[in-house]
Structure 1
Amino acid sequence: MAASVSLARPRTRPALGAAVAIIRPLLPVVIIGVILFVAPAFLSDFRQNLLAKFLCFAILAVGIDLMWGYTGMLSLGHGVWFGLGGYAMGMYLKLEDADGGLPDFMNWSGLTAVPWFWKPFEHPWFALPAAVLGPGLLAFLVGYLVFRSRVKGAYFSIITQALALILSIFFVGQQQYTGGTNGLTNFSTLFGFTLADRATQDVLYFITVSLLLLTMLFATWLTRAPLGNLLVAIRDD
């Protein structure tokens, strides 16, 4: 009997160690998730919306951490992809507010019709994929050209900063099409729901929290996968 017990112990300890190894990196994500999901019960509308904006930037920060912290490549234009996705969604929101007319800044700029490249963004089924796939495809193209040329170190940072500056100058200079320095503002509805309603704000907040947690879980998995070791190898090369 004693022999059977002693033989069983080595089997349970490796299993317990494996479970701890899996749970330990996920524990911070779970704690953060619990805090964020209960936070609206203690926050005003203004502070909840402000926290939601911070969480959007936290998603961006996870990407920067993977690029700079693990791969050792400092991207000074990381906001380009984030901003392009936001602009795509903003175009839909402005057209939804206009209800078939011209967005306010186009009226002020003297346009008489919605530009052709704005037209597809009247439809959410186009705007949503465009907000994700558009920046993703552009990032893939830029990344392919940069890494194919073996650009690294300070040169990589300079290229990404130049890209951010070029797009910033372009968007600011096209006032009648992009809103210029003001950008796209004063949204009132989303898919027909009023953005000022607390219920709409709650849904958007919880969607943002969920996306952040999924991003953190993906980053946690990635850094512990073979690809994560490859990222570190690039940094240490």
Structure 2
Amino acid sequence: MHAIERMSAAGDRPGRIARLALAAAVAASSAPAFSQAPAPADPPISAWVMGTTVYRGKSKGQRYILHASVIVPGNPQNPGGAAAFGVDDAGNVTFIGRTEYQPTQSLSTVRRKFETPKPPMTGEQAPRYLMVCSWPVDDAHKANGAVTTGFGERDDSATSISKDGTLQESLNVKWTSVPSARAKGKFSKTDYCGEVARTGKSSAPLWLLPGKET
């Protein structure tokens, strides 16, 4: 009798294994799925150039300004510094300018007046890519934390040029935020942001000519 029971138990073992496997599969399929946390988004930037070349009249000359900002994650309210760099289609990196100190770091901005060697400026003279950097500073305006960077690409579809006869010509250029993977490598020759944060100077040549104060 015991021998028969043992034989029956042994004969049913494959069936029990199959039932256990099926139960485990059902339990796994009904268990809540844990989705992978999305990668943090790259800091967005906002950047544009606006300006006018005047050919006649009392205001004859150039008036161009570049504005570039990066939104720092976490909305930090501590003071900060900022810098901006550009790279053209040939891969040449240029230093656009810096802000030594601003009261809050959350929206770090660089504004610079500039002129072209030969007016008027065209959209193609503007950098293809921008890198805008931000860092926290102490009371002495010295960098004392990690650098945040955001990147943008020139949006040629948004470039506009308007002419007022032969009197003046106005230009508007914009950049659109892009993932760091698209543009970061174009600025990888040197730690441009860290260099300016530490020393206040850049080894990259200045982009175009400093504009006159008006």
TM range (shorter): under 0.3
Hey, which of these two has a bigger chunk of helix by percent?
1
Hey, which of these two has a bigger chunk of strand by percent?
2
TM-score, normalization by structure 1: 0.24
TM-score, normalization by structure 2: 0.26
